[in-house]
């Protein structure tokens, strides 16, 4: 038996076997949930610190996901946060909790309930719960009705959260909306 | 053992050409978070009654042997993920049979061994489906162990170590490579252990993981390659080359990790005539906070 051949075949097999599941379908946060796509999160033992940091956030529903409101999926590289009813996720706090845990957030997938405002050509959504203000982007943003209470699902880039300044809206790419 | 010698270049080849990753999970994989800390208790045992001259087993009419048990208390603190401080405190209990004036004499010793302090400096890279890091770790081994008795637990020297490691991890695969060198100082009572060059390789699979329970298992293969320069202890020559390999089992749940490791010496080539190191068993439990 050629030992080198066996070793090389083993290495090849292990790399083929580790197929990435992170780029599959569109990511949509469910009701009372937020999802974070995170670079490098491939081992939950290693991510225990990030989970601990996140579990301290006051807006999480600790009765979900093993009693801390945080679900880390190491195969899709996503963290799903269970939110308390009538609470919005504070993206800056989540970003900091993950960064201090040793990982790099990439995108947030959120579901924000708030009132639509118009500022020139910009559509803004002011969260009813957290007070965070989002600038709604995307082809369908123009369909939002000023003054209406609306539920908007969308994606927020982690770079925009990192660069967040108080009083400045956070850009959010809308994927769907529902007015009340 | 001679036939296994051809594996050495293959192992070195893997180290140079493949990706790498997880050796002591509590000390390396975690805590990678700011102000995280952890500790583990690990029991290491090895021993043999096989006498080697070079790489060949020879007759052992006096039943020379060696039996070493070390319980390690190891702590780690992460200032931020790039800078850590580790402390490893051994408690040694060992015994051996030596030949003095033509008769077999049992010797033993126990007590606090030589404490090792290290400062792992890491650089991380997080990709979409993988994480990796390279590390440089300067270490010092302090002469805290007693050098008295017929089989002392310390050698009385201050030793300086340096390690270069790299690890690479995906959800299913873990690899770790660590190349290190210990510059051993002059000890008491004429003891002078030779400098040691080592390479550790861990390649592991992550066959089971439960996202909700934060529970899982790693199965790994460990290979440990050592070359120690010729040295001297109270009983004679030390040093030589050896390659040990064997399986590693890791179970974790939240911040608790259990690890069991068995390594067998598939190749040894020792200076003069010495007792083989023998198979090595490591069992530990670690906690991170």
CB atoms within 10 A of CB A35: 23
What average pLDDT score do residues B71-86 get?
A: 95
Give me the pLDDT at residue B111, please. Answer: 98
Three-class DSSP category at A85: coil
**pLDDT value for B24:** 58
pLDDT of residue B78: 95
B31 touching A, CB under 8 A? yes
Phi, psi (degrees; rounded to nearest 5) at B101 = 55, 35
Confidence of residue A30 (pLDDT cuts 50, 70, 90): confident
Q: What is the rounded distance in angstroms from the CA atom of residue A83 to the CA atom of residue A65?
A: 11
Which residues, 6+ apart, have CB-to-CB distance to B3 below 8 Å? Answer: none
Range with the lowest mean pLDDT among A72-86, A98-112, B1-15? B1-15
Judging contacts by C-beta atoms under 8 Å, the chain A residues touching residue B127 are: 39-40
Q: Which residues of A touch B220 (CB under 8 A)?
A: none
Q: What's the mean pLDDT in B91-100?
A: 97
Report CB contact under 8 Å: A22, B129: yes
How far apart (Å, rounded) are the C-alpha atoms in residues A98 and A95? 5
Q: Which residues contact A97 (CB under 8 A, 6 or more apart)?
A: A50, A53, A54, A56, A57
Tell me the average pLDDT across A32-60. Answer: 94
- Verify whether the Cβ–Cβ distance A46 to B29 is below 8 Å: yes
Q: What is the band of B25 on the pLDDT scale with cuts at 50, 70, 90? A: low
As for how many domains chain B has, the answer is 1
Which pLDDT band holds residue B7 (cuts at 50, 70, 90)? Answer: very low
Query: What pLDDT is stored for residue A2 in this prediction?
Result: 53
Residues 107-166 of B with CB under 8 A from A: 124-131
B81 CA: distance to closest CA in chain A (Å): 6
- Chain A, nearest residue to B33 by Cα: A101
Residue in A11, A38, A42 closest to B130 by CB = A42
Across the A:B interface, residue pairs with CB atoms under 8 Å apart total: 116
**SS3 (DSSP) at A52:** helix
CB contact under 8 A, A49 and B203: no
Which of A23, A40, A52 has its CB closest to that of B131? A40
Interface ipTM > 0.85 = no
**Cβ separation of B33 and A104 shorter than 8 Å?**
no
Q: Does pLDDT of B222 surpass 60? A: yes
Closest approach of A26 to chain B, Cα-based (Å): 16
Higher pLDDT, B201 or B2: B201
Q: Measure the CA angle with vertex B244, ends B241 and B245; round to 5°.
A: 155
Name chain A contacts of B174, Cβ cutoff 8 Å: 43
Structural domain range at position B58: 2-288
Q: What is the pLDDT of residue A21?
A: 46
pLDDT score of A148: 92
At the top level of CATH, which class does the domain A32-179 belong to?
Answer: alpha beta
Contact yes or no for B33 and A75 at CB 8 A: no
Compute the average pLDDT of residues B41-59: 97
pLDDT of A12 reads 42
- A134-167 residue pLDDT tens: 999 998 898 899 999 999 999 999 999 999 887 7
Q: Residue B10 pLDDT more than 70?
A: no
Mean pLDDT of chain B, nearest integer: 90
- pTM here is 0.84
CATH code for the domain in which residue B11 is found:
2.40.160.40
The pLDDT of residue A4? 52
Q: What is the pLDDT of residue A26?
A: 77
* Virtual torsion, Cα A117, A122, A125, A130, nearest 10 deg: -110
> How large a percentage of chain B has pLDDT more than 90?
87
A1 in reach of chain B (CB within 8 A): no
């Amino acid at each position: 038996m050629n030992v080198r051949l066996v070793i090389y075949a083993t290495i090849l097999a292990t790399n083929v076997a580790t197929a990435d599941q992170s780029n599959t379908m569109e990511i949509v946060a469910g009701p009372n949930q937020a999802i974070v796509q995170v670079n490098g999160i491939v081992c939950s033992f290693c991510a225990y610190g990030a989970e601990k940091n996140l579990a301290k956030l006051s807006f999480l529903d600790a009765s979900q996901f093993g009693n801390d409101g945080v679900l880390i999926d190491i195969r899709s590289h996503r963290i799903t946060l269970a939110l308390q009813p009538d609470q919005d996720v504070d993206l800056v706090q989540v970003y900091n909790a993950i960064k201090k845990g040793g990982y790099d957030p990439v995108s947030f997938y959120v579901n924000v309930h708030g009132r639509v405002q118009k500022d020139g050509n910009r559509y803004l959504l002011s969260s009813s719960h957290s007070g965070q203000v989002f600038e709604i982007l995307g082809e369908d943003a123009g369909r939002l009705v000023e003054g209406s209470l609306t539920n908007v699902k969308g994606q927020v880039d982690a770079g925009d959260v990192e660069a967040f300044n108080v009083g400045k809206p956070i850009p959010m790419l809308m994927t769907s909306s529902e007015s009340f | 053992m001679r036939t296994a010698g051809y594996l050495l270049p293959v192992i070195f080849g893997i180290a140079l050409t493949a990706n790498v990753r997880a050796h002591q999970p509590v000390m390396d994989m975690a805590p990678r978070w700011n102000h995280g800390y952890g500790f583990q208790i690990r029991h290491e045992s090895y021993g043999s009654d096989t006498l080697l001259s070079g790489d060949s087993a020879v007759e052992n009419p006096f039943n020379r042997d060696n039996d070493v048990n070390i319980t390690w208390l190891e702590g780690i603190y992460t200032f931020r993920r790039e800078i850590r401080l580790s402390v490893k405190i051994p408690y040694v209990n060992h015994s051996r049979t030596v030949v003095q004036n033509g008769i077999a004499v049992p010797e033993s010793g126990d007590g606090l061994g030589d404490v090792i302090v290290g400062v792992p400096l890491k650089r991380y890279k997080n990709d979409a489906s993988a994480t990796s890091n390279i590390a440089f770790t300067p270490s010092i081994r302090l002469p805290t162990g007693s050098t008295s008795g017929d089989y002392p637990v310390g050698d009385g020297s201050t030793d300086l170590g340096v390690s270069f490691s790299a690890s690479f991890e995906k959800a299913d695969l873990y690899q770790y490579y660590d190349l290190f060198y210990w510059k051993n100082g002059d000890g008491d009572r004429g003891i002078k252990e030779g400098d040691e060059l080592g390479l550790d390789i861990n390649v592991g699979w992550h066959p089971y993981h439960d996202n909700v329970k934060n529970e899982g298992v790693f199965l790994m293969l460990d290979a440990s390659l050592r070359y120690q320069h010729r040295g001297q202890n109270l009983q004679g020559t030390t040093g030589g080359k050896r390659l040990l390999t064997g399986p590693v089992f890791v179970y974790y749940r939240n911040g608790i990790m259990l690890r069991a490791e068995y390594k067998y010496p598939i190749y040894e080539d020792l200076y003069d005539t010495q007792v083989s190191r023998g198979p090595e068993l490591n069992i530990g439990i670690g906690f991170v906070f």
